[in-house]
């Protein structure tokens, strides 16, 4: 979080207004200045052309990946339940191709997902949410899922591999990594997942 706030104040001072200025900002500051997910970076370097399409970042938090995604898409919608986090994005995104929307992801069913070329889901996982995305996204779109990492007792909220295989069915997997959490109480072999799916 602190790295993001450093980036936020830098952007306020220099009033970044365009994609060209955003590119300059990225060249000038260390590549991981706002702790962008390495998996998101890898996926975008392989599968997405610069400046094309629409992206949904849900949940966005304070913009950990949002500003990076804005370099690769003509429009990014950052969705989160936390209005304070979205205000941080709004302050830093003035003049950029980023919009925000406060929304509980459990109520995403009324939301139109057909226009998005990539839906980026980092550090959030529920079976119902992933099933909804798989059902409502447009054919040919990409779904990036990065569950939270294994830390202490959080394995209880993470997927297990059997559950993932059942949810994903016969979807086209472009990337799939699963790592079971090493915890003595993890009898269901729950773990962290990094998945890229072509709908």
pLDDT band at 41, cuts 50/70/90? very high
Average pLDDT in the chain: 84
Confirm if 198 and 140 have CB atoms less than 8 A apart.
yes
Confirm if 77 and 57 have CB atoms less than 8 A apart.
yes
Q: What is the pTM of this model?
A: 0.80
**pLDDT tens for residues 139-179?**
999 999 999 988 888 888 899 999 999 999 999 999 999 99
In the chain, the domains with their CATH numbers are 36-198 (3.40.50.150)
Coil/strand/helix, residue 145: strand
pLDDT(1) > 70: no
> Distances in Å between the alpha carbon of 192 and those of 4, 119, 185?
24, 18, 16
């Amino acid at each position: 979080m602190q790295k993001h706030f450093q980036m936020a104040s830098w952007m306020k001072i220099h009033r970044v207004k365009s994609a060209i200025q955003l590119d300059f900002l990225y060249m000038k500051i260390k590549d991981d200045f706002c702790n962008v997910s390495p998996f998101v970076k890898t996926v975008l370097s392989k599968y997405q052309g610069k400046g094309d399409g629409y992206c949904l970042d849900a949940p966005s938090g304070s913009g950990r990946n949002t500003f990076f995604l804005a370099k690769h898409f003509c429009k990014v919608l950052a969705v989160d339940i936390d209005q304070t986090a979205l205000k941080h994005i709004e302050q830093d995104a003035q003049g950029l191709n980023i919009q925000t929307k406060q929304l509980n992801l459990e109520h995403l069913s009324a939301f139109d997902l057909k226009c998005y070329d990539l839906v980026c889901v980092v550090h959030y996982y529920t079976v119902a949410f992933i099933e909804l995305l798989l059902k409502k996204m447009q054919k040919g779109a990409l779904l990036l899922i990065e569950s939270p990492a294994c830390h202490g007792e959080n394995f209880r909220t993470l997927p297990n591999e059997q559950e993932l295989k059942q949810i994903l069915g016969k979807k086209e997997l472009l990337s799939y990594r699963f790592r079971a959490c090493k915890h003595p109480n993890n009898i269901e072999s729950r773990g962290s997942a990094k998945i890229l799916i072509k709908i």
